[in-house]
Amino acid sequence: MPTAQIQTARKTLSPRVAVGLLLTFVSLAFALFGGMSSAHADEVGAEYEYAFSGNVQYQDKPVEGVKISVSGNGYDAETVTDAEGKWKIGVPEKEKYTITMDESTLPDGVIVAEGGSSVEAEFGLSGKKSVNFFLGQGERVVVSFSDQLIARFFDGINFGLMLALAAIGVSLVFGTTGLSNFAQAEMVTFGALAGLFFSTVLQLPILLALLLAVVASGAFGWSLDAGIWKPLRKKGIGLVQMMIVSIGLSLALRYVFLFFVGGSTLQLEGAGDAKFQIFGPISLAMSDIISMVISIVVLAGVGFWLLRTRIGKATRAISDNASLASSSGIDVDGVIRIVWILSGALAGLAGILWAYFRPGIKWDMGGQILLLIFAAVTLGGLGTAFGALVGSIIIGVMVEVSSLFIPADIKYIGALLVLILVLLVRPQGILGRKERIG
């Protein structure tokens, strides 16, 4: 696509799927029992057997007075949503029609975020069909493709840095103990929840609360090692068993979180703040800027720790060759303990940053990015900390940029495909060393 070409794309203020955008929600029941809604005040074409219907909501509230039109097969009709946000248009034939939402009738700052304001719809087996529009925060402006690309690229870097925090933990643990830790996802969630706990339940100032949350996450990592992983290592449990134990742990923790916080999405103080333009097409919220700065500083710190400090060097030595490291007097257990603390703290920090980036805290939020973390670690090279950083940024950028070309609801697919392709072509990853047989 030529970059000069002007698209009628919308510049979304917050480009993530989950970001305050709620879909035009139509329940299956509504479609099935469409006949019951004949009491509709605004129903158009009620005389026909077939009908399209929908329910326009934004942030869980119905939106009234949105103009919806149906056209096709020589038929045109339009209606507006009622007080409950509902609309229904009857059509004469069981054929394909184009359904359009008039964006100018939406409230200010709300747009059709995904899938476009005009969709083609066809009936399934029944004579009723529900049509979804995804609404989001944003303004209707015309943005050039190159500007979108730059904006997405920047978002991707931000997302990638955040992934890197979680991925380095996975990578360090894998390097030193050989464990593919599925419960890393829950360590991410733990950080965000701890932040929520300190800031809303204990009413601490937000910065102190988040700092305490990172400390608590490190303590959580330590307790997992002391309570589970160290005893299992002592017991001589195999790596595959350990991996499955981590899956069990992941399941258990995930539902423990659900048990305590429920299924709703919660917000940290300051999440979803207004964005302002930095330069050119890039606009960020304050939390985005702080997030990037923190990520970069922390990652640089980890890099320094690995390269320059005694324990950091010991960590790398163990990743290279555990038995040699141990025979040369390195306290392997001590290093592994530190790695778990670090891994917990980094994952917790990633969780907090992600809670701002999404924005929102949910009981299974870690699980949503677990495979992206694995993809990043594998892409960079299993067990190499710097590989995890490189892999994370590539995955982050790829996920964000690819949503320019493919629907947002499958944007993670690209990252997962990369994961598979890397294993196919270069299983040792970008920075990993080639495996040797025999």
Partner 1 sequence: MDILGMLSNTASWIISPTTIAYAIAAVGLSVHFGYAGLLNFGMAGFMALGAYGYAISILSFGWPWWAGILVGAGASVIFAVLLGIPTLRLRADYLAIVTIAAAEILRLLFTTMLFDEWTNSADGLGGYHDSFRAANPIPPGEYGFGPWMYNEKDWWVRIFGFVLLAIAVLIVWSLMRSPWGRVLRGIREDEDAVRALGKNVFAYKMQALIIGGVFGAMAGVVFALPSAVVPGSYVTSLTFFIWTIVLLGGAATVFGPVVGSVIFWVIMAALDNIIPALADAGILPITNIQAGVLRYIFVGVALMLIVIYRPQGIFGNKKELTFVK
Partner 2 sequence: MSSNPLPTGVTPVKSTGLHVGEIAPGVKKVDPIIIADGVTRKFGGLTAVNVEHLEIPRNAITALIGPNGAGKTTLFNLLTGFDKPDTGSWTFDGKNMKGVAAYQAAKLGQVRTFQLTKALGLLTVMENMKLGAKNQVGERIFPSLFPGFWRKQEATNEVKALDLLKKFKLDTKQTDFAASLSGGQRKLLEMARALMSDPKLVMLDEPMAGVNPALTQSLLEHILNLKQEGMTVLFVEHDMHMVRHIADWVVVMAMGEVVAEGPPDEVMRNQKVIDAYLGSHQDVDLGVVTGRVKGKMDPEAKKMAEEVEHLDQAINASEKGDN
Q: Which residues bind partner 1 (CB under 8 A)?
A: 28, 31, 115, 122, 124-126, 130, 132, 180, 228, 232, 235-241, 243-245, 247-256, 258-259, 262-263, 367, 371, 374-375, 378, 407, 409-410, 412-413, 416-417, 419-420, 423-424, 427, 435, 438
Q: Which option in partner 1, partner 2, none does residue 324 bind, with CB closer than 5 to 8 A by kind?
A: partner 2
Decide if residue 329 touches partner 2 (CB under 8 A): no
Report the residue number, 300 or 421, with the smaller CB distance to partner 1. 421
Which stretch, 73-81, 111-119, 284-292, 321-329, contacts partner 2 (CB under 8 A)? Answer: 321-329
Residue 132 touches which of partner 1, partner 2, none (CB < 5 to 8 A by kind)?
A: partner 1
Q: Out of partner 1, partner 2, none, which partner does residue 321 contact, by CB within 5 to 8 A per kind?
A: partner 2
Residue 409 contacts partner 2 per CB under 8 A: no
Q: Which is nearer to partner 2, 60 or 435 (CB)?
A: 435
Rounded CA-CA distance 47/205 in Å is 60
CB nearer to partner 2: pick between 161 and 385? 385
Please say which residue, 95 or 320, places its beta carbon nearer to partner 2.
320
Among 375, 390, 325, residue whose Cα is nearest residue 180: 375
From 1, 278, 321, 333, residue interacting with partner 2 (rule: CB under 8 A): 321
Of residues 109 and 427, the one with the C-beta less far from partner 2: 427
Taking the least distance from each CB to partner 2, the nearer of 59 and 241 is 241
Q: Compare residues 131 and 298 and give the one whose CB is closer to partner 1.
A: 131
- Interface with partner 2, residue 437, by CB under 8 A: yes
By CB under 8 A, tell whether 435 contacts partner 2: yes
Q: From CA 57, how far away is CA 101, in angstroms rounded?
A: 13
Q: Quick check: 68 and 99 in contact, CB under 8 A?
A: yes
Task: Please report how close the Cβ of residue 416 comes to partner 2 at its closest, in angstroms.
Answer: 26
Q: What are 370's two structure tokens?
A: 């677990």
Shortest distance, CB of residue 429 to partner 2, whole angstroms? 13
433 in contact with partner 2 (CB under 8 A): yes
Q: In the range 280-299, which residues lie near partner 2 by CB under 8 A?
A: none
Residue 320: contacted member of partner 2, partner 1, none (CB under 5 to 8 Å, by partner type): partner 2
Nearest to 183 by CA among 99, 115, 250, 83: 250
Is residue 436 close enough to count as binding partner 2 by CB under 8 A? yes
Partner touching 436 among partner 1, partner 2, none, CB below 5 to 8 Å by kind? partner 2
User: Is residue 438 within the footprint of partner 2 (CB under 8 A)?
Assistant: yes
- The correct pick among 320, 406, 421, 423 for binding partner 2 (CB under 8 A) is 320
The answer to whether 340 and 225 are in contact (CB under 8 A) is yes
Binding partner of residue 41 among partner 1, partner 2, none, CB cut-off 5 to 8 Å per kind = none
Of 226, 286, 324, 423, the residue at the interface with partner 2 (CB under 8 A) is 324
Instruction: Report the interface residues with partner 2, using CB under 8 A.
Output: 320-321, 324, 327, 433-438
